[in-house]
Amino acid sequence: MVRKNQLPQFPNDYLNEKAEEYDSSKWMERNQKRSTILSIQYLFDEKLIGQDKFGIEMGDSFLLLDLGCGTGFSSEVLLENGFHVIGIDILLDMILKAREKRKSLKKRKKFEIILADINFLPIRTNIIDHIISISSYNFITHGNENFGVKAKLLGNTAAYLNEILKNRGRIIIEFYPKDDHELDIFTKSFTNNGFEGFMVKNNPKQKAGQTFLLLKKI
């Protein structure tokens, strides 16, 4: 079982009985939902929206892509806040938990769940209003330690996220870069592929730990 202040190991901490432990952890649920609420607030941050803020309200029924939805903690919060949600995850054990959870949700008709790789999304271009990813974006480079390979993979993924977003589409990514070097690779993958924005950390001087990337399509 993943403990507090300990980052999960992908994919082992999300498979088989670990998926059950993850889904039944009250600490994990609180942590994921707290980060999702923060991400929704950041999605409508005036500094991020800028001159595009006219006509954009938090209550609008946007279609959101939940990248790395896991067992559905983040998707639940998004649904409760009025969004239509497409949850994406690559791990079947996590998706099965999310699908089981979906059956008891009042707004389940607004919640679609897809087993897919974030790097190869089965999503048409220009249909997603906004994207949120909670504690999962680190894992899209899993198994690739070569700098060039990682940079190319991240760049291709960011470019496709740009394509599936509508105009004025925004992305909030909450993740845990291990150091400034990794943070720089992830950030540049977006700024080099049609996004602009900024980051938020609890401590501006921190080298690693929880980081939010606030991005919008340009």
Give the total residue count for the chain. 218
What is the maximum alpha-carbon separation in the chain? 48
Q: How far is it, in rounded angstroms, from Cα 137 to Cα 118?
A: 9
CB atoms within 10 A of CB 50: 11
- φ and ψ at residue 35, rounded to 5 degrees: -65, -35
Chain centroid to CA 41: how far? 14
In the prediction, which pLDDT does 143 show? 86
In the prediction, which pLDDT does 61 show? 80
> Could you read off the pLDDT of 85-123 as tens digits, one per residue?
999 999 999 999 999 999 998 888 999 999 999 999 999
**Cβ neighbours of residue 94 closer than 8 Å, sequence gap 6 or more:** 14, 19, 22, 69, 70, 71
* Residue carrying the six token digits 């939805």: 69
**Which CATH fold would you assign to the domain 12-49+59-217?**
Rossmann fold (3.40.50)
Tell me the average pLDDT of the chain: 90
Domain spans of the chain, in order of start: 12-49+59-217
- DSSP-assigned beta bridge partners for residue 136: none
In the prediction, which pLDDT does 1 show? 44
Question: What's this model's pTM, rounded to 2 decimal places?
Answer: 0.91
What element of type H or E holds 17? Answer: helix 17-24
The bridge status of strand 84-89 relative to strand 165-175 is unpaired
Nearest to 109 by CA among 138, 131, 79: 79
CB 45 within 8 Å of CB 59: no
- pLDDT < 50 positions in the chain: 1-2, 55
In the prediction, which pLDDT does 190 show? 98
